[in-house]
Structure 1
Amino acid sequence: MLGQILKDFDACGIVGEATNKLTGYLACVSRKLDRPLAVIIQSTSAAGKSMLMESILAFTPEEERVKYSAMTGQSLYYLGETNLKNKILAIVEEEGAEKASYALKLLQSEGELTIASTGKDDQGRMKTEEYHVEGPVMIFLTTTAVDIDEELLNRCLVLTVDESREQTKAIHDLQREAETFDGLKRKVERDRVLTIHRNAQRLLKSLHVVNPFAKQLTFLSDRTRTRRDHVKYLTLIRSITLLNQYQRPLLEKGGLQYIEVTLEDLATANALAHEVLGRSLDELPPQTRRLLEQLKAMVQARCETEKIDPELCWFTRREVREFTGWSNTQPKVHLDRLEELEYIYPRRAGMRGSAYEYELLFDGDTETAKPQLVGLIDLQKLGYDEKFTGHMAEFAGLKRPQNGAITEPPLAAPSSGKGASRRSLPKSRNAQTGHNLHVVVS
């Protein structure tokens, strides 16, 4: 089913972003659960975060989503008792809900809001009135902020928009196609596909989901914030099962009706969790890590061209702007973050006054350094047979998922020649070994 959902997103003109599309779709389905997921889409300006949110929301029934551009601090408390129950609350920019952030956190954690407010009765005397907003509600936000409120971040899945040149080219191709007859046909097909999905989601019921493998599952436990991440992981599993409720037998025991999680559901959840939840444990924001990848490529290219050691390949902010094509603000913000976390080191050039040049301290592989969620159980131990192939080949379960801690790559050997005489600096130890993620779901 998830493979077909991806095909339908493509048919509607939403190119790439496979993980984001599926995670967002499943998060919207979780509105039917007692503890729904919450999602924040993070990207730089004009990267397409609002378009991604709008595209995902378009697959859900209009009557089951509520969308605002901004919210005042007290507005959530007066929405009425059932106005948000089992619905999606979408806010276009997280900054627009800054004043209501406390209420949003409570609504996500507690599933309801209650406030006592003063008013006047018919005789003009002061009285206390209680207002109650009943959940649960799935919260959907977007933001351009690099640093997100920690309390809100802990409660949400963070999705980051693909800002690669390949994705931009694919979007340009699609935009040009929209001006052709094929684009007109796609527009008509989009309306048909969305109607099917909205009607299908109207048929979804709020069923109990039982996970017969729950006690055998494992999860990273080296920090306290994983307590909430673990709940997100379990909710993601239940959302996948709930989506497939009409493909599962309705069981009954002790007067309770329920559907059960399958090993295929676990394989899909593990695949998505590696990227989505692994990202939340990364010390670098996604845009900062993207700049680190480009710095690594820039330094390697210059070292090969100029035949110098990486320690002597210093660079300025201007050179970073020219290489990345970014505006002045973006490199400044992310270079400061990389300097703070010791991925780069500022060097004052004597002839440039107060101008700085930077040295890249990070000597790991930017691909293997990408975050991965470790500690998940090897599904083969539960009898899972990886035999599923098809449209979602990139989301199939690992044959042998990593269950131990992430290891660090060895530090680079000391350079010879010119670089050997320089003052020794502590190299970044933030690189982590990862593994290729291959998941197959029918």
Structure 2
Amino acid sequence: MLNTSNPNNYEYTTKHLEVHILGGIKTTKLETLRITLSVQKPKQHNVLRHSIDLYNDNQVEKLVRKIAERLEIGTSIARRTVQDLTKELENYRFVLLEQSQVTATGKQLTATEIKKAEAFLKSKDLLSKTNELIGKSGVIGETTNRILMYLIFTSRKTNNPLHCISLGSSGVGKTHLQSKVAELIPEEDKVEITVLSANAFYYFNRTELQHKLILIEDLDGAESVLYPLRELQSKKRITKTVVHKDTKGTTKTIHLTVEGPVSVAGCTTQESIYEDNSNRSFLLYIDESTEQDQRIMNYQRRASAGKIDKQGQTDAVQLLQNVQRCLKTVTIINPYAEYLELPQSVFKPRRTNSHYLQFIEAITFYKQYQREKKYDEQTGEEYIETTIEDIEEANQLIIEVLLRKSDTITGACRNHLENLKQYLKENNQTTFTNSEIRRRLRIKETTLRRYNKQLLEENYIQRVKSKTKSYCFEIVDVDEYSNLKEQINSALQNCITQIELAISPQSHHGQNGEVKTKKAS
């Protein structure tokens, strides 16, 4: 019988011979069965070692004669042993193939698991309940970022996936947040990258990356693959032309194509370096406040004291993974898309507008079990429609993203400026010096100099005369950021108002489906 308990040394024992298959067998190239074996009589030390393709009849006949001569045994016994071994290895290889296919397609949910996941997807206030469950899974704080990231990861199943980059200074938990939220995505749906060579992406199977989540721990360690990643994000496919020699030695040109779409997530401390990638992504700025520090340290203390509900965390992770497995690919139509306009303050409005619409679609996709399935009269294609509630929830979550997209300074510099405003307000000051800020806010001199240079260039701060020799500064407009936030909020709310007016009882639909509003008498 074939014993495969040791994957690197299979054992096949008969009454007359003992065979060891060294290194196991490969599940690729089913047209061959190449192995390295050692053959001996039981309890003897005369061993024959040989590499062979068991599907090559000439090689098998030579092996049979060699076994008979070396071990002094009949050729009929040797031939029957090799034939039976070949059949056992074939059957085991089919078992391995079936197991690998199950792993690739993912876990098969039981009826109970499906019922529980679907009931959750049909529940009221789905996004807030999902956010609460993410917190139970072990993600501390970051209430907006974590639900944003989860929805972005969920969009991998749509035809227009979203992408995100987590930004923050070193040691604030960018990678931790990404990895914890990624735990809520089934293993079969994600690819984690630490370091990858420039050409590695082109050697995936054609559809191996379709609708996958690609996780990059640190963009600094994956610079070589950023270009093919950008192409996958934009064009949803990458192609490389290489020269290849066939078995006859003939040189020919072949095309290596890898199909998308994919959802990409990464972390970095250097926002300005990856501008081409950040333009295609949602920028999620990690909470670096002292309150968040306290929340994380309290959690660490409780974990060290053994007061964390590990089983509750595991159950939350399992439920959200099952929820992901229950989501099916479906077309999304947003009947209110024409009423949605971004604030004029947003930079690169074309790409940002596309992200905004895709994010609304991602929310609709996640709430597909609460939507009536409709069918296109001409094509018969199934689809679901976005509701005003989806748009309102998207506006609440995306306002911080749009605010950052409208800012003229980097996120790190903005965080410094807001901390500076808070410090001046608490101390009833309007001016400050570099030495004071370095000491009170504990900032390195080089970092502060870099922030000041950017703030001076963008006219957020200005120099003022001082009685001392040191430079003195003041903030030009303390309320500029809150005013910008109010402007964006008003623009988004205005879109909702326009939609509500359009679908109010005073409006009616024309024959061509266009919404027309009756004039008030």
Q: Give the equivalent residue in structure 2 for 1:71.
A: 196
For 1:189, give the aligned amino acid: G
Task: Work out which of the residue numbers 232, 238, 251 in structure 1 matches 2:374.
Answer: 251
Q: 1:221 to 1:81 in 2, by over 3 A?
A: farther
Partner Cα distance (1:224, 1:15) in 2: 31
The C-alpha deviation readout for 1:193-240, integer Å capped at 9, x for no partner, is: 111111111111110011121222223457771111111011101110
Partner Cα distance (1:263, 1:113) in 2: 37
Q: Give the equivalent residue in structure 1 for 2:44.
A: none
Q: 1:297 to 1:121 in 2, by over 3 A?
A: same
Q: Give the equivalent residue in structure 1 for 2:452.
A: 335
For 2:281, give the aligned amino acid: C
Q: 1:133 to 1:268 in 2, by over 3 A?
A: same
Contact 2:376–2:382 at 8 Å: present in 1 too? yes
Structure 2 residue matching 1:383: 3-state secondary structure: helix
Q: Give the equivalent residue in structure 1 for 2:488.
A: 373
Task: Work out which of the residue numbers 9, 28, 53 in structure 1 matches 2:153.
Answer: 28
Matched, 1:188 2:311: yes
Q: Give the equivalent residue in structure 1 for 2:506.
A: none
Tell me by how many angstroms 1:14 deviates: 1.7
Structure 2 residue matching 1:116: 3-state secondary structure: strand
The alignment covers a number of residue pairs equal to 371
Q: Give the equivalent residue in structure 2 for 1:60.
A: 185
Matched, 1:295 2:412: no
Structure 2 residue matching 1:10: 3-state secondary structure: helix
Contact 1:344–1:360 at 8 Å: present in 2 too? yes
Partner Cα distance (1:71, 1:63) in 2: 19
Q: 1:205 to 1:225 in 2, by over 3 A?
A: same
Structure 2 residue matching 1:229: 3-state secondary structure: helix
Partner Cα distance (2:445, 2:159) in 1: 45
Partner Cα distance (1:157, 1:10) in 2: 21
Contact 1:108–1:136 at 8 Å: present in 2 too? yes
Tell me by how many angstroms 1:338 deviates: 1.7
Tell me by how many angstroms 1:163 deviates: 0.5
Structure with bigger gyration radius: 2
TM-score by length of 1: 0.78
Q: Give the equivalent residue in structure 1 for 2:260.
A: 135
Q: Give the equivalent residue in structure 2 for 1:315.
A: 433
Structure 1 residue matching 2:307: 3-state secondary structure: helix
Structure 2 residue matching 1:368: 3-state secondary structure: helix
Q: 1:124 to 1:326 in 2, by over 3 A?
A: farther
Task: Work out which of the residue numbers 456, 465, 473 in structure 2 matches 1:359.
Answer: 473
Task: Work out which of the residue numbers 139, 163, 166 in structure 2 matches 1:41.
Answer: 166
Q: 1:223 to 1:47 in 2, by over 3 A?
A: closer
Contact 1:157–1:277 at 8 Å: present in 2 too? no
The C-alpha deviation readout for 1:289-331, integer Å capped at 9, x for no partner, is: 1111222234445555xxxxx3xx3412x43232223345532
Tell me by how many angstroms 1:114 deviates: 0.9
Contact 2:243–2:253 at 8 Å: present in 1 too? yes
Structure 2 residue matching 1:88: 3-state secondary structure: strand
Partner Cα distance (2:315, 2:346) in 1: 46
Q: 1:243 to 1:223 in 2, by over 3 A?
A: closer
Q: 1:335 to 1:140 in 2, by over 3 A?
A: same
Q: Give the equivalent residue in structure 1 for 2:3.
A: none
Q: Give the equivalent residue in structure 2 for 1:415.
A: none
Q: 1:143 to 1:58 in 2, by over 3 A?
A: same
Q: Give the equivalent residue in structure 1 for 2:64.
A: none
Q: 1:4 to 1:120 in 2, by over 3 A?
A: same
Contact 1:251–1:258 at 8 Å: present in 2 too? yes
Tell me by how many angstroms 1:341 deviates: 1.9
Contact 1:80–1:133 at 8 Å: present in 2 too? yes
Partner Cα distance (1:178, 1:110) in 2: 45
For 1:363, give the aligned amino acid: D
Partner Cα distance (1:350, 1:115) in 2: 65
Structure 2 residue matching 1:293: 3-state secondary structure: helix
TM-score by length of 2: 0.67
Structure 1 residue matching 2:372: 3-state secondary structure: coil
Task: Work out which of the residue numbers 5, 10, 13 in structure 1 matches 2:138.
Answer: 13
Partner Cα distance (2:480, 2:310) in 1: 39
The C-alpha deviation readout for 1:349-372, integer Å capped at 9, x for no partner, is: 9997xxx63412433226515656
Contact 1:275–1:373 at 8 Å: present in 2 too? no
Matched, 1:382 2:507: no
For 1:109, give the aligned amino acid: S
Q: 1:223 to 1:381 in 2, by over 3 A?
A: closer
Higher mean displacement: 77-86 or 60-69: 77-86
The C-alpha deviation readout for 1:392-428, integer Å capped at 9, x for no partner, is: xxxxxxxxxxxxxxxxxxxxxxxxxxxxxxxxxxxxx
Structure 2 residue matching 1:174: 3-state secondary structure: helix
Q: 1:369 to 1:220 in 2, by over 3 A?
A: closer
RMSD: 2.4
Partner Cα distance (1:216, 1:378) in 2: 6
What is the percentage of aligned positions where both structures have the same residue?
Answer: 31
Alignment of 1:104-183 (within 5 A): 104-183=229-308
Matched, 1:91 2:213: no
Task: Work out which of the residue numbers 352, 369, 372 in structure 2 matches 1:229.
Answer: 352
Q: Does 1 or 2 have the higher relative contact order (CA < 8 Å, sep 6+)? A: 1
Q: Which runs of 5+ in 2 are unaligned?
A: 1-125, 502-521
Q: Give the equivalent residue in structure 2 for 1:400.
A: none
Partner Cα distance (2:464, 2:243) in 1: 60
For 2:324, give the aligned amino acid: Q
Contact 1:345–1:361 at 8 Å: present in 2 too? yes
The C-alpha deviation readout for 1:47-104, integer Å capped at 9, x for no partner, is: 1111110111011101101010123222222222112100100101111222222111
For 2:488, give the aligned amino acid: L
Partner Cα distance (1:132, 1:283) in 2: 39
Higher mean displacement: 118-127 or 55-64: 118-127
Q: Give the equivalent residue in structure 1 for 2:322.
A: 199
Structure 2 residue matching 1:182: 3-state secondary structure: coil
Partner Cα distance (1:269, 1:218) in 2: 13
Q: 1:70 to 1:319 in 2, by over 3 A?
A: farther
Partner Cα distance (2:462, 2:345) in 1: 29
Partner Cα distance (1:74, 1:180) in 2: 47
Contact 2:421–2:478 at 8 Å: present in 1 too? no
